[in-house]
Structure 1
Amino acid sequence: MIFQDMAAYRAASHAPRVAIVGGGVAGITIARKLDARGIPCVLFEAGGEEITEESQDFYKGVTVGDQYFDLDVTRLRYLGGSSNHWAGWCRVLDAYDFEPKSWIPNSGWPIRHADIEPFLDETRSILGLREFKPTHALTDNFGRMDLIKSDPVRFGMQFRDELEASRNVAVVLNTTVLELAGNGKAVTGAKLYSAGAPAGDFTAPYFVVATGGLENSRLLLWSNAQSNGAVVPNARALGRYWMEHPMYWAGNAFITNRDALEFDEDGECFMIPTPEALERRGLANFHIQLETMPYHGTKKMIAEMACYAPRLTEWVASAIGAHLQCSARVHIDWEQPPIESNHIALSQTERDAAGVPRMELHWKKGDLDRKTLVESMRMFGEEIALKDIGRLHISDWVLNGEDWPTDMELAGNHHMGGTRMGTDPATSVVDADSRVHGMENLYVAGSSVYSTAGQCTPTTTLTALSLRLGDHLARTVAS
């Protein structure tokens, strides 16, 4: 069932057991899981079925620190959420990513890869994926990673007809949950705003907050402020440990053994370091993307390098006749460590049209970010030279410790952390079942529960975690 506003929904006399706040990847996945188990639920989507300026305006905010995307552009506020601009890159976190690392404070999850494995077949079915190929060694310290570019699933369109036909799931569009109310042990209700006006209160036995990797924190921070801490009673970590995947073009490579790197049909190769290499150098996880260039691009690169890298240019000139097979841009993406100071806060001066404080994202890259960038590039350059695969020229801005470039990709639009999963309420917001510490009926879904970011895109793992939460909720409600 799909309703255009709260008034239409109230007229239907639907009685949900679970209220899901947010109609993106996590919210829709959980609703479908509950539907399959015959459990009635309501899904509140703040936007409609199409993007509008009025709806996006609610997402405006400011970033304090490093340059970042506009907060009303990096995410989308309509049915399907940010899956509506997802590029389709898929990779699930490796077992290593769930483990704590002694050199990265606050790293590690309270669950392991084995806890999401039962849901990976269903995840692949939802996202239209084949099974991921195992990573295999290319050099002593790097392996070839299988990163799948799927046909991006727009969840609002893909599952609209199914949601419309469901008798268990009620999707209520154009309806915002402004705040949750609680008594320090459970959520007691929600205050709604629908079709541009206050829409009264709503209650349900269970609530799931699934509004996105930024908005989850804003909703819970505001709810806590309004309820004197009765919604997230252990709130020290709320909004904190926020993470992204910084990504930059950091160098150029000349390849003399293209077959050794196993480029795909698009002329790309994705490589990840071994866990042992990361531990030896004390680095966060990362991946290297090689993007091959046509021959005229190679000639242009050689000409440009002649002045500032004469030794490398001499090597290229000697190799170009019989050995040089291609050149490639070298991109690097890495996981940010979970740092408490990277956090989401409520504006003290700006409010949205419904009167809720706008967001402030406090975000800076730190010492481990810089170390990971520099040392990973050095390690990659050493590795391909040692194996006589090619030579790497690292960009000057990387080696010289210059300011972070502002004319590159910046990051992946991957919003992780803020309501992170853990066992200690001092450094986490939800437990291993995604339930808010100390609350009987409040859960959080989506990439905001990420404890550690890993080096890969979040959507695949996010979907598996949502299926896991949906399964847990179905069993909890049924009992």
Structure 2
Amino acid sequence: MLIDARKLAAGSVLDADVCVIGSGPAGGSLAEELAGRGMNVVVLEGGGLRSSRLHSDTYRGVVGGGAHDPLEVVRQKRVGGTSAQWGGRCAPLDDIDFAERDWIPGSGWPITPEDLQPFYPRAQRHLDAGEYEYSAARSGFPPAPAAESTILDWDHTWRWSPPTKFAARMRRLAQGGNVRLLVEATVVRLERDPVSGAVVEAVAAPRPGVEITVRAPAYVLAAGGLESTRILLASDRQSPAGIGNEYDQVGRHYMTHPVGEVGTVALSDAGRALALGYVTTSDGIYSRRMLGLTPQVQREHRLGNLKAALWFPDPMTPDHHDGLLSTFALTYWGLGKARLGFKSAGTHAAYTGTTGIGRHVRNVAADWRRVGRFARSWAAPRLTGRRVLPSFMPLDGAFCRLRFDAEQSPSSANRVTLDSERDALGQRRLRVAYSVSESDRERIRTGMTLIGEEFARLGLGTVALDDVDRIGDMAFTDGTHQMGLLRMSHSPRAGVVDPQCRVHGCANLYVASSAVFPTAGAVGPTLAIVALACRIADRVAELVVR
């Protein structure tokens, strides 16, 4: 049943077996898993079927120390959550991401890769990303033409979901008999039993001055990293610091993934034969090779994890005379100037600095046939097929760049807290202090240099990394991957949730989010988030049926 919470009477109370807070990939997958076991599930979603200016404003925060994209831009308050702007990229975490590494303080997960492994295939199905297979050799890629390397790993891949938008899935679930999806139901706090510490109520505000309540034996916070943190901090009636925050751990160790492009690469025939663009796997999924550093090299050089891929040349200045690159630059320049959501933030925000707009337009006009051919090939799968070509990625020019997604190490100084300013629903806004350390930047510089040198040594192309020192000055403000804020730990002194993702000291409250990641890895977190959600679903089912 789909219920607009604004139409409920003030003080309404709903009962359920499980209350799930959030309707994105984590919350949606959890609701589906639990409903499939016959449980009565209430899903609380603060947004509506569409995003509004009011929704966006309630996600607005305050950026204090450092630099960070606007909080209302990097997330979506609507049914389906931020899956509405997710690109669909999937990959599992590496084994080394779980390991304790003495050169990365705070590293080491309290679970092993084997603990999460059984849940990846289930997550894969929820995300509609095909088989659980992330080896290029076993996915239908052409054989690698170069010799084996002890430095460079090119067999691991990304896979792309169509991408799955969870809004439609949630609406289908709400048509069933045991899922009630409440929209416009922003959770403002959780109430606990003063003796046992268990959560007894989730309190939501459909409109200013009005509250409704959901009661259930089990609760799962799946509202995204930032909002799940805000809810715990704001639940301060029994504990002044908020739930799970007896040792000042809630909101600390905030990590994202530093992303950037460096270098100039001219591919050789061997490099082109490696198929470093998009490849359709044997089961029909768009996929790409990662260029990563082996665990041996990461340990030897004391590096964080890092994944690289070929990227197109810098499109921002029109001197390239390439109509496709100018089309891309003009598109993102316009989105950035109009501040149209996700595509105006993070690495995309730089395109507001695009120069020579008139010359870009002339480049497009002069290259109109090629632009037209690309537009047709780009539009065809979007108009006629379920699976969308993941991104603009022409690699047919003379040169390209190396793009990296890097691991950021956890730091207690990177954190979010509650600000004194309040939104229209009376919630205190979040205040963010965030920066990328010099040690992380140096690890990225070293990693990219090693990748470039090995790429050239293997005869895959010539690589010039004259600009690698720019990594020291890159903004790294992208907050779309919100990790570490509610980190997993054996002890409440070191984190917020236990190895089962249950909040320390709160036997019936779980968190399904990348906020529980103790370290960040170097791949997008969505697949691991949904795998954790499936694991939590099993634990919650055991708790409720006891």
Q: Same fold by TM-score, threshold 0.5 exceeded? A: yes
RMSD: 2.7
Q: What is the SS of the residue equivalent to 2:181?
A: strand
Q: What is the SS of the residue equivalent to 1:122?
A: helix
Q: 1:10 to 1:54 in 2, by over 3 A?
A: closer
Q: How does 1:400-439 map to 2 (within 5 A)?
A: 402-405=472-475, 410-411=477-478, 413-439=480-506
Q: How does 1:34-53 map to 2 (within 5 A)?
A: 34-53=34-53
Partner of 1:315: none
Partner of 1:368: 439
Q: Distance in 2 between matches of 1:400 and 1:24?
A: 36
Partner of 2:341: none
Q: Distance in 1 between matches of 2:241 and 2:63?
A: 25
Where in structure 2 are there 5+ consecutive unaligned residues? 138-146, 280-286, 322-395
Partner of 2:311: 291
Identical aligned residues as a percent: 31
Q: Distance in 2 between matches of 1:170 and 1:300?
A: 54
Q: Distance in 1 between matches of 2:450 and 2:470?
A: 17
Kindly provide the amino acid, as one letter, of the partner of residue 150 in structure 2.
D
Partner of 1:306: none
Deviations 1:9-28 (A, max 9, x none): 99998630211122221111
2:404 matches 1:332: yes
Whether contact under 8 Å (2:503, 2:509) holds in the other structure is: yes
Q: Distance in 1 between matches of 2:228 and 2:450?
A: 38
| CA-CA distance at 1:261 after TM superposition | 3.5
Whether contact under 8 Å (1:187, 1:231) holds in the other structure is: no
Count of aligned positions? 448
| CA-CA distance at 1:439 after TM superposition | 1.2
Q: Distance in 2 between matches of 1:8 and 1:16?
A: 17
> Which of residues 144, 147, 153 is equivalent to 2:164?
153
| CA-CA distance at 1:113 after TM superposition | 1.8
Whether contact under 8 Å (2:42, 2:179) holds in the other structure is: yes
More deviation in 36-45 or 192-201? 192-201
Kindly provide the amino acid, as one letter, of the partner of residue 45 in structure 2.
E
Q: 1:381 to 1:164 in 2, by over 3 A?
A: closer
| CA-CA distance at 1:385 after TM superposition | 2.8
2:509 matches 1:442: yes
Q: How does 1:186-197 map to 2 (within 5 A)?
A: 186-197=198-209
Q: Distance in 1 between matches of 2:452 and 2:536?
A: 42
Whether contact under 8 Å (1:293, 1:326) holds in the other structure is: no
Q: 1:440 to 1:401 in 2, by over 3 A?
A: closer
Q: 1:401 to 1:454 in 2, by over 3 A?
A: closer
Deviations 1:361-390 (A, max 9, x none): 111101332112210121112212322322
| CA-CA distance at 1:114 after TM superposition | 1.5
| CA-CA distance at 1:67 after TM superposition | 2.9
| CA-CA distance at 1:7 after TM superposition | 5.0
Partner of 1:180: 190
Q: How does 1:263-302 map to 2 (within 5 A)?
A: 263-265=276-278, 269-291=289-311
Partner of 1:313: none
Where in structure 1 are there 5+ consecutive unaligned residues? 302-323
| CA-CA distance at 1:425 after TM superposition | 1.3
> Which of residues 226, 239, 251 is equivalent to 1:239?
251
TM-score by length of 1: 0.87
More deviation in 78-87 or 227-236? 227-236
| CA-CA distance at 1:8 after TM superposition | 4.1
Partner of 1:30: 30
TM-score by length of 2: 0.76
Whether contact under 8 Å (2:191, 2:237) holds in the other structure is: no
Whether contact under 8 Å (1:233, 1:438) holds in the other structure is: no
Kindly provide the amino acid, as one letter, of the partner of residue 120 in structure 2.
L
Partner of 1:133: 134
Whether contact under 8 Å (2:26, 2:513) holds in the other structure is: yes
Q: Distance in 2 between matches of 1:91 and 1:268?
A: 11
2:519 matches 1:452: yes
Partner of 1:469: 536
Partner of 1:117: 117
Q: 1:461 to 1:140 in 2, by over 3 A?
A: same
Q: Distance in 2 between matches of 1:233 and 1:92?
A: 29
Kindly provide the amino acid, as one letter, of the partner of residue 121 in structure 1.
P
| CA-CA distance at 1:87 after TM superposition | 0.7
Q: Distance in 2 between matches of 1:60 and 1:230?
A: 21
Whether contact under 8 Å (1:240, 1:342) holds in the other structure is: yes
Q: What is the SS of the residue equivalent to 1:471?
A: helix
Kindly provide the amino acid, as one letter, of the partner of residue 287 in structure 1.
K
Q: How does 1:381-400 map to 2 (within 5 A)?
A: 381-396=452-467, 398-399=468-469
Q: Distance in 2 between matches of 1:9 and 1:454?
A: 45
Kindly provide the amino acid, as one letter, of the partner of residue 140 in structure 1.
T
Whether contact under 8 Å (1:138, 1:261) holds in the other structure is: no
